[in-house]
A = this chain, B = another copy of it.
Amino acid sequence: MTDLSTIAELLREHDGFEILTHRYPDGDTLGSAYALCHILQGMGKNARVITSGTPAKKYDYLREGLAEQDFVREYVVSVDVAAPELLGDNQQEYQDIIDLCIDHHGTNSMKAKHIYVDAAAAAAGEIIYEIAQCMQIEYTAGIADCIYTAISTDTGCFRYSNTTGRTHRIAAHMMEHTSNWFDINTQMFEIKTKDRLSLERMVYETLEYCCDGKCAIIHTTLEMQQKAGVTDDEMEGLASIPRRIEGVLLGLTAREKADGTFKVSARSNGDIDASAFCAKFGGGGHKAASGCTVTGDLESVKAQLVRAAEQIL
């Protein structure tokens, strides 16, 4: 593994940068990639971001102030990409030519000339910040917006357990260089589309409890999704709804898929092991968040989930 001062050296020495994000790009991979692009262009270098898939429109501000430069690629950097397959459409072209891989996933399995993984970083954006510090970069609002976005989105606005004192101190520093952080938080955490809200209304109607209220189950069907006009991209985050209910130890979300199965997300509180629950259906994951696939029609799937929940709780 390389270190921060070597990275600073590599970035100073090279030019013609292409910076890669992971597929289904989120605030951390985009914020980190665009922050690095702002930094490099600010140093007078040629640099562009190559996203995997089109980012949601709400992230457009991350690109503000960047120039579209015409140049031949010389140096390839990946940020927040934990494994080659997460490069998505870019895997084929790029997986064997990455010069520098910057990531915060302890499980990183990328192939690259230089690899820097800091698993204690709440977001890849924290590492970009440390590189900027190491290079004594003068922060612009553009850089600060990108780094703030990266760390804020990957920590649920400083709420998740991956947040550290370092995360907060970086936020404090970035807030000295941008006044956009409040609008960023509003866009990232507050605003919901009308279609998404319409889906949530339907989802709330499906809420059922079992096991004396210790388990809550919600579901979505293809029909609901179609009626609300919600794309797969907008289906994220539903799984946290049942887990947030007072007294609920196991929250289950069953989502009907086009192949006739249901994708089940299990979220647990306290000592309950969601991965043990999912293992009953051949799935797995983490103790607090796991997933599995269950086959059958809606009623049969729910009956299977209730039976399994009764065994766990």
A contact set with B: CB distance below 8 Å? 157-161, 163-169, 171-173, 175-176, 182, 185, 189-194, 197, 200-201, 204-205, 207, 209, 213, 240, 243-247
Contact = CB atoms under 8 A, between A and B. Distances in A.
Given A165-B173, A194-B245, 12 more contacts: A157-B158, A157-B159, A158-B168, A159-B182, A159-B189, A161-B182, A163-B182, A168-B172, A168-B175, A190-B244, A194-B209, A201-B207
A171 B165 CA distance: 7
Contacts of A243: 190
B194 A247 contact: yes
Count the copies.
2
Contacts of A157: 157-159
Contacts of A200: 204
17 contacts: A157-B157, A157-B158, A157-B159, A158-B171, A159-B189, A165-B176, A167-B172, A168-B171, A168-B175, A190-B240, A192-B244, A194-B209, A194-B213, A194-B245, A194-B247, A197-B207, A201-B204
- The 8 A-B pairs at the shortest CB distance, nearest first, are namely A165-B172, A168-B172, A168-B168, A201-B204, A161-B182, A193-B246, A158-B158, A159-B185
A192 B158 contact: no
A59 to B, nearest CB: 15
Nearest to A190: B244
Nearest to A157: B159
B194 A246 contact: yes
A252 to B, nearest CB: 15
A50 to B, nearest CB: 28
Contacts of A244: 190-192
A163 B194 CA distance: 29
Contacts of A175: 163-165, 168
Contacts of A207: 197, 201
A266 B204 CA distance: 25
Contacts of A182: 159-161, 163
A161 B183 CA distance: 9
A191 B159 contact: no
A205 B201 contact: yes
A121 B57 CA distance: 34
A227 B171 CA distance: 43
A14 B240 CA distance: 49
Contacts of A164: 172, 175
A145 B191 CA distance: 30
A97 to B, nearest CB: 39
A161 to B, nearest CB: 5
A204 B176 CA distance: 39
